Each structure stands twice: as C-alpha cells, then as structure tokens.
Structure 1
C-alpha cells in the first residue's frame, strides 16, 4: 500500500470516529430553555428525548425535579400521543411565593405513551413551564429515566464534575442566567441600569461609526464610477477620432 492509500485509509477512519463520537455525545436526554431561564423568574423549557436504539421505541420518560431547589409552579404542556402525570411532595420547609406559603411542590413528571412513541431515528420534545426559578444557584439538575418498549430503562442521572470527562449517562442540566427585570421575582439594579445606559451609548457610537463607514463606502464607489465613466468617455472619443481619420484616408 503506497503512502497516498495509507493517508486515505487513516483519514476515513478518523472521520468515522469523529462522526461516531459526535452521535454518542448528542444522543442523550437534555433540557433546553425556550428563550431565557433567568434566576428568580419563570421559563418554558423542552426536555428533548432522542431514541438511541435501532430495535426499540421510547414509551416513557420520568423527570425528577430537584428537591434541593423546589419549584412552586411546574406545568407540563400537553403532547399529542402522550399522557403526563405530575407527582407532588410535601415540603419540609414551606416556600413563600408572592406573599403566599407553598407547602408542597412537584417532585416528578412522568410522560407515558398513549398512542404515541419515539421510534428509532426520531426524537420528541416535552415542554414544561417552570417557576419561580431559584436565585441561589447557577443551574438545575433534572435526573431522568428513559424506558423503551423492550423494558430497557436508561438512567440519565450522572452529574458532571468540573474538570472531569462527561459521564456516560449525564443528567439534563438547565443553566440559569442572571436575574433581569423582565421576569417575575427578578429586579433590575442601578448597576444594571448603568450597564444598559453604557451599552446604549456603545450601540449609538457603533451606529454612527457604521453610518460613517457606509458614507465613506458610498463616496468611494461614486469616485470609482466617475473615474470609470471618464475612462470610457475618453475611449469613446479616441475611437471616434480614429474612425474619422480612417474615413478621411
């Protein structure tokens, strides 16, 4: 086998490995916000469930709501072909939300196939409204169980550790952004206002710079077109003179 053939084989193997690893990395249950999930506010999120098997379909999903950061409001959106069941648990320490005490919170959501299923090569999203999001953490970890119609259960419950490789079955993690005034429970501070003013000033300056750049570009284009016109005109005059001389001759 010559060097070119060896390089071709090595490249093919490397490409196949990358594709294989990429498929594995993205094929787990995850949670993704629709928009922003800000501390102290409310958010709608999607639990995305891909089917990892070639010979079985997903027929059940159980998501555990973190007990260390209980949420007063958890409402699943209806999904055609699936039945959602919400399990509530009494809180050891009541929550105070909008001046009211909450003594129990949702601890688990279970979706069971009711005419629907996630077949091989497909995925399904399960939307849920969450709130009030905690203000004392940067993320929420939702452990999940995925059940197939061949009775296999995949436990997405392993928490990732900083500096360590991603576990084989990572739990879905919802990152929380800084609180903003656009969410219930999140208030804007004076520092935020100054930051907004500063950002506005930067935007205005950028807009002026961009306008000036467009103006310069327009002037340059006009000059180029003028020069081209002059050159074409001169060429036309020269052609006319030469044509006249030929006729005279």
Structure 2
C-alpha cells in the first residue's frame, strides 16, 4: 500500500533529547547516592511514563511508593530544559515540514504529554503535526504497538498506509508489530540497540535524506510481524 501518512517518534528523531533523559535520571539517582547506567537507559527506551518510572524504581532498589516522585521529578527536569531551547537534530525541522507538505504527519512518542508539548513548541512544528499521541494515552508503551495503532486510528488511515520513523529498537518493534512500514534513523548519541537494523524495513543515515515515496518494503520482513 502506498504511504498515506508519516508518523514520527520524537526523542532521537526530531530532537536529540535522549541524552537529556539519561542525564536527568543519572543526576536524580546520584543525588540519592544511587547509580543509573547507560544499560539502564537502554532498558527504558520506548517505555511509557508509567513503565520507565517502574523500571527505574526497580533498578534503583526503591519502594513502589517512590514511583510518582521519580516520574514527576524527571519529567520536570526535562521539561525545564526544553523551556531553555530544544536540541533539534540538524535538518529535522526542515524534513518534517517538507514531508508534511505532501502527507499528513503525526508524532507518536513515549514521552510524557507535557514534554511532547514543550518539544513541539520549542521546535515550532506544532502547526504541521496533525495528530499527537503519547504512550501514556494507551495501556502499554513501545515495543507494544498500541501507540502506533492509536495514532493511525486518529489519523483515519489503515496501519498499512503509515510510515513510521524511529531511532530505537523498541520503537522499530512497535511499528513493525503495528503492521506499518518502519524507517530507522540511527541516533549516534543513544544508539538504537543491537539488531535494530535487521528488524527494520529501511535505514537512512539522516532524517533530511528521507523520501517516504521511495521507501520499499523489505521482502523478508512481512508487515505486522516482529522478528525475534
């Protein structure tokens, strides 16, 4: 099916804020004499707010009652950084606007809604984004396909007509499981994880190089199937 809409992940695709999340989680943990590592960050990439707060609490050995405090503190820290400016990936804003001139575009992000709103405001892209869905709007975060399926529903476009742009292995798995065509744009700040390129349909080095009309499905990766 031809591409009828393009759905972008946010962190690591449009803005290079994955490192912010890592830095703020690391700092929050260090202030309490605890250690948060890059391996811990990879474990929560793609998770919704409830999911990463739970994982963070578990990995740091904290109490279940601490989860709301963890969530509120880290989200506030990242949102405050966006208010001082967005770490926009070179060429990303122009690429999104170019693509939005031809196809409906959406953002499907694992970030908290307040962070998404701050990021879109800082990048100036709010006016071209037709639909915004946070993983907090659905029961499960990536790699579960729910956030992408909900985005397609709101767009009014079948999943097979949606092109997903992702930077993480959990995001790639979510897009493939949703039955969508997935393009991986690897982020050097926080690499996508082992096996991500094997799972995706197409890889481009930079978002500015993406031409949705030219993306071809890999014949060995059937839509709707996420290989092990």
What TM-score range do you get, normalising by the shorter chain?
under 0.3
Q: TM-score, length-normalised on structure 1?
A: 0.22
Q: Which has the higher strand share?
A: 1
Rg bigger for which structure? 1
Q: TM-score, length-normalised on structure 2?
A: 0.24
